[in-house]
Chain A
Amino acid sequence: MPVEVILPKVDMDMATGQISRWFVTDGQSVKQGDVLFEIETDKAAMEIDAPASGTVRNISGKEGVDIPVGQPVAWIYAEGEAYGSVKAAPSTSPLRGEAAPLGAGGGGDKAPSVPPTPAVSPPTLPTSGEGGSGKARATPLARRLARENRLEIAALNGSGPHGRVTRADIMAAIAQPSTSPLRGEVAPQGADAVDKAQGSALHPTSALRAAPSPEGEGDAVLKLFEQGSYDLVPHDNMRKTIARRLVEAKSTIPHFYLTLDCELDALLALRKQLNDAAPVKKTDKGEAPVYKLSVNDMIIKAMAMALMAVPDANASWTESAMVKHKHADVGVAVSIPGGLITPIIRKAETKTLSAISNEMKDLAGRARNRKLKPEEYQGGTTAVSNLGMFGIKDFAAVINPPHATILAVGAGEERAVVKKGEIKIATIMSVTLSTDHRAVDGALGAELLTAFKRYIETPMGMLV
């Protein structure tokens, strides 16, 4: 009996995925565990292994198109098994867990008439009502709102009869960005509280109107330009995700901003001292120091220490309760081709500078190859975005929910400063803290930023 290969759910909030590449062709023999294809999600690419050994047949999952999670994309036939024309079965029957009747195909020469049980455990559809059509139940209004807000109905839990998704569910999903199904990130610590909040939250309709409307908008823009004066580049998933998340974040989170100058000279001196003292180890390419700290590594640590010093600012907003985090999980914005991603240094307050530095190098490298696992970029309690390497003096960043803060870091540069009535030269770095006013008020944000400045200006504090 052939084994079904489905498009698996590799990301907790994934409703559809794209196969970016097949590594096998129809009729090819594979062993269980061989890589069959690669899935591209919003933020990562992931390789999917063969669930069984045999011959790959009926590859129906096309590259580069959105495929619903759970849909069969190919079949694997055992050696010697007769190859019948198994259509890409609707995802319903396997999802309902119907095993193929034992009699079917028993003769060995008959094509199976019933899709076999899935080899990969199927994803649970929230709408697996008795209909079992695989199509989510939703009211027409909910469908329209989901369309306008780029939400995936199938990934929402409907509160209506038979799991029907209604306007209230969509509103809750929009109002609770951190749990909304296509959101990239859910704070693991906050998930419970956030779940409880869902459903009770009503959302101002103004935010709905602010959301981009998919239809018509593009035409209106194109009309402003002469034909042939531009190229159209279709959005990839990452671009869509970035656009949606930023609109949501900027239109639902009440941002305010605090800016402070930090003197870097002591930190730069300590960094040089520590890097000079780095032990050397032998590698394939010769000898290399076991760590090389960057200023950014020290900023990550300082931010984590500052959050520990001002724990009230280490929070996430939900409608029902404040989520107060016990550890500082610091997301670090990494620019990658076509977008950006924010891998997270977990419990950064507990890690040494060298550990943070090496972990960051590994995360950034894999981020650029889009090989991060979802758990490596989902959640976090704050974030750091550094554009100092471009000479940017100061900027304000958009909060990345469920965070309540994000620190925008400018370039360290020599500036004239006045000290005790005299003009001196000092290396100054301006930082701007963006804050979710629902979770962190002005004075609390100022306290956090002051604590950060203290660690930066007396960096020995980070070592103890």
Chain B
Amino acid sequence: MDATPRELSYSQAIQEAMAIAMEVDERVFLMGEDIGVYGGAFQVTGDLVERFGPDRVMDTPISELGGAGVAVGAAMTGMRPIFEFQFSDFATLAMEQIVNQAAKMRFMLGGEVSVPVVMRFPAGSGTGAAAQHSQSLEAWLGHVPGLKVIQPATPHDAKGMLLAAIADPDPVMIFEHKLLYKMKGHVPEGHYTVPIGKADIRREGRDLTIVATSIMVHKALEAAATLEGEGIDVEVVDLRTIRPMDKQTIIDSVKKTSRLLCVYEAVKTLGIGAEVSATIAESDAFDYLDAPIVRLGGAETPVPYNPELEKATVPQVPNIIAAARDLVSGRR
């Protein structure tokens, strides 16, 4: 019956997850700038306002701090708000609500209150949106205890993880790479969840572990396909959640392959790659390393507007292939 699996785009998968959640749970509602009639900056909410009405698909004023504050407050009073940022860069405007309020409430109120808010962040470069609309700030929020931070890489995971986030009693931050919105993939019908805090091995291999996040998972898989032709057998771990990080999957994988390459779009320094590397260095997988750990991350620069320069600031498939070759051949 299911001979040809149903395919949806990443943005459709998210929209479907929100619709399912709103259908089954009256507490769920959406907030964001231009998410109503306009359908959202990336058309993710689409026509949901027509299905659920403006009371549950609410346009907010152009104030991320204000919108986030309303969302956090609503969550504290028992609602299940999903708050959309137009660009993840604008998280900077809402830091007070995210970091000082949402993340802290459960702890400061002795567990009497939780903040089951979901915040969605279109993130990453590649759209020619320049320095203020292209950043990858997930590690910023990943640094804050009390938050959960996820980066689904496929339509399947986007829907399943968003549904898990809505059900989660704590604030969950979803970073959605803008270039993934149009990516299609198999998405099951109905309600299902993909657990937060569990990485996924996208491809099994013997020679090298690539731990990647978000769109870099796909670049790593593309690199792995090329490397396979050279006899290099790459294992690709899709981290999926950066807080809480699934350390065991990384450790087990590195124990198997003895080599680790971290690939992520955010600025390389002080980022996810450092955390993954340190996880290995501090674990019993250390004794299994047969090469230095290598990170491929974004350049130490604001993302340029020029499309060629923009591409050059984030790891691309040839960079991953070259790094993997060096690691496996013992040149590094």
A residues contacting B by CB (< 8 A) are 139-144, 159-161, 164, 166-168
Closest residue of chain B to A168 (Cβ to Cβ) is B330
User: Which among B258, B286, B290, B331 has the greatest number of chain A C-beta atoms within 10 A?
Assistant: B290
B314-332 CB contact bits vs A (8 Å, 1 = yes)?
0000000000000000111
Closest residue of chain A to B285 (Cβ to Cβ) is A140
> In this assembly, does B289 line the interface, its C-beta being within 8 Å of a C-beta of chain A?
yes
Contact B332 A141 (CB under 8 A): no
A141 to B286, CA, bound (A): 8
Kindly provide the distance from the CB of B11 to the nearest chain A CB, expressed in whole angstroms: 43
Between-chain CB contacts (< 8 Å), 9 pairs: A139-B290, A140-B287, A141-B289, A143-B287, A160-B291, A161-B331, A166-B291, A167-B258, A168-B330
Closest residue of chain B to A167 (Cβ to Cβ) is B290
From 146 to 182 in chain B, residues with beta carbon under 8 angstroms from any chain A beta carbon are none
Contact B290 A142 (CB under 8 A): yes
Kindly provide the distance from the CB of B328 to the nearest chain A CB, expressed in whole angstroms: 11
Residues of the A chain whose Cβ atoms lie less than 8 Å from the Cβ of B288 = 140-141, 144
Residues of the B chain whose Cβ atoms lie less than 8 Å from the Cβ of A141 = 258, 287-290
Residues of the B chain whose Cβ atoms lie less than 8 Å from the Cβ of A168 = 330
Contact B332 A139 (CB under 8 A): no
Residues of the A chain whose Cβ atoms lie less than 8 Å from the Cβ of B287 = 140-141, 143-144
14 further A-B contacts with Cβ under 8 Å, apart from A139-B291, A141-B289, A142-B290, are: A140-B286, A140-B287, A140-B288, A140-B289, A141-B258, A141-B287, A144-B287, A144-B288, A159-B330, A160-B291, A161-B330, A166-B291, A166-B330, A168-B330
Closest residue of chain B to A165 (Cβ to Cβ) is B290
Closest residue of chain B to A138 (Cβ to Cβ) is B290
Q: Which 3 A-B pairs have the closest CB atoms?
A: A141-B290, A144-B287, A167-B290
Kindly provide the distance from the CB of B284 to the nearest chain A CB, expressed in whole angstroms: 10
User: Which among A141, A144, A161, A167 has the greatest number of chain B C-beta atoms within 10 A?
Assistant: A141
B288-299 CB contact bits vs A (8 Å, 1 = yes)?
111100000000
Kindly provide the distance from the CB of B224 to the nearest chain A CB, expressed in whole angstroms: 21
Out of A139, A159, A160, name the residue touching B289 (CB < 8 Å): A139
Closest residue of chain A to B258 (Cβ to Cβ) is A141
Residues of the A chain whose Cβ atoms lie less than 8 Å from the Cβ of B290 = 139-142, 166-167
A277 to B176, CA, bound (A): 100
Kindly provide the distance from the CB of A165 to the nearest chain B CB, expressed in whole angstroms: 10
Residues of the B chain whose Cβ atoms lie less than 8 Å from the Cβ of A167 = 258, 290
Kindly provide the distance from the CB of B231 to the nearest chain A CB, expressed in whole angstroms: 13
Residues of the B chain whose Cβ atoms lie less than 8 Å from the Cβ of A161 = 330-332
From 226 to 284 in chain B, residues with beta carbon under 8 angstroms from any chain A beta carbon are 258
Kindly provide the distance from the CB of A350 to the nearest chain B CB, expressed in whole angstroms: 46
Residues of the A chain whose Cβ atoms lie less than 8 Å from the Cβ of B332 = 161
A175 to B330, CA, bound (A): 20
Residues of the B chain whose Cβ atoms lie less than 8 Å from the Cβ of A166 = 290-291, 330
Closest residue of chain B to A147 (Cβ to Cβ) is B287
A89 to B286, CA, bound (A): 31
A159 to B286, CA, bound (A): 20
Residues of the A chain whose Cβ atoms lie less than 8 Å from the Cβ of B330 = 159-161, 164, 166, 168
A237 to B216, CA, bound (A): 53
B179-213 CB contact bits vs A (8 Å, 1 = yes)?
00000000000000000000000000000000000
A167 to B290, CA, bound (A): 6
Residues of the B chain whose Cβ atoms lie less than 8 Å from the Cβ of A143 = 287
Closest residue of chain B to A166 (Cβ to Cβ) is B290
Residues of the B chain whose Cβ atoms lie less than 8 Å from the Cβ of A140 = 286-290
Residues of the B chain whose Cβ atoms lie less than 8 Å from the Cβ of A164 = 330
Kindly provide the distance from the CB of A190 to the nearest chain B CB, expressed in whole angstroms: 27
Closest residue of chain A to B291 (Cβ to Cβ) is A139
Residues of the B chain whose Cβ atoms lie less than 8 Å from the Cβ of A144 = 287-288
Kindly provide the distance from the CB of A157 to the nearest chain B CB, expressed in whole angstroms: 13
B112-144 CB contact bits vs A (8 Å, 1 = yes)?
000000000000000000000000000000000
A139 to B330, CA, bound (A): 11
Kindly provide the distance from the CB of A70 to the nearest chain B CB, expressed in whole angstroms: 27
Closest residue of chain B to A159 (Cβ to Cβ) is B330
A140 to B290, CA, bound (A): 6
A164 to B291, CA, bound (A): 9
A225 to B288, CA, bound (A): 34
A166 to B291, CA, bound (A): 8
A144 to B289, CA, bound (A): 10
Kindly provide the distance from the CB of B65 to the nearest chain A CB, expressed in whole angstroms: 47
A142 to B286, CA, bound (A): 11
Closest residue of chain A to B331 (Cβ to Cβ) is A161
From 31 to 86 in chain B, residues with beta carbon under 8 angstroms from any chain A beta carbon are none
Closest residue of chain B to A141 (Cβ to Cβ) is B290
Kindly provide the distance from the CB of A144 to the nearest chain B CB, expressed in whole angstroms: 4
Kindly provide the distance from the CB of B251 to the nearest chain A CB, expressed in whole angstroms: 13
User: Which among A140, A142, A143, A160 has the greatest number of chain B C-beta atoms within 10 A?
Assistant: A140
Kindly provide the distance from the CB of B76 to the nearest chain A CB, expressed in whole angstroms: 47
Residues of the A chain whose Cβ atoms lie less than 8 Å from the Cβ of B286 = 140
A230 to B99, CA, bound (A): 64
Residues of the A chain whose Cβ atoms lie less than 8 Å from the Cβ of B291 = 139, 160, 166
A159 to B331, CA, bound (A): 10
Residues of the A chain whose Cβ atoms lie less than 8 Å from the Cβ of B258 = 139, 141, 167
A159 to B329, CA, bound (A): 10
Kindly provide the distance from the CB of B289 to the nearest chain A CB, expressed in whole angstroms: 5
Residues of the A chain whose Cβ atoms lie less than 8 Å from the Cβ of B331 = 161
Kindly provide the distance from the CB of A198 to the nearest chain B CB, expressed in whole angstroms: 15
A161 to B330, CA, bound (A): 7
Kindly provide the distance from the CB of A136 to the nearest chain B CB, expressed in whole angstroms: 15
Residues of the B chain whose Cβ atoms lie less than 8 Å from the Cβ of A142 = 290
Kindly provide the distance from the CB of B277 to the nearest chain A CB, expressed in whole angstroms: 13
A173 to B290, CA, bound (A): 16
A168 to B287, CA, bound (A): 15
A133 to B330, CA, bound (A): 22
Closest residue of chain A to B289 (Cβ to Cβ) is A140
A144 to B258, CA, bound (A): 12
A164 to B332, CA, bound (A): 10
A346 to B258, CA, bound (A): 45
A143 to B258, CA, bound (A): 13
Closest residue of chain A to B329 (Cβ to Cβ) is A160
Closest residue of chain B to A164 (Cβ to Cβ) is B330
Kindly provide the distance from the CB of A388 to the nearest chain B CB, expressed in whole angstroms: 48
Closest residue of chain A to B286 (Cβ to Cβ) is A140
Kindly provide the distance from the CB of A99 to the nearest chain B CB, expressed in whole angstroms: 34
A372 to B290, CA, bound (A): 39
A140 to B284, CA, bound (A): 10
Residues of the B chain whose Cβ atoms lie less than 8 Å from the Cβ of A159 = 330
A143 to B287, CA, bound (A): 8
A144 to B288, CA, bound (A): 8
Closest residue of chain A to B292 (Cβ to Cβ) is A139
Residues of the A chain whose Cβ atoms lie less than 8 Å from the Cβ of B289 = 139-141
Kindly provide the distance from the CB of B114 to the nearest chain A CB, expressed in whole angstroms: 42
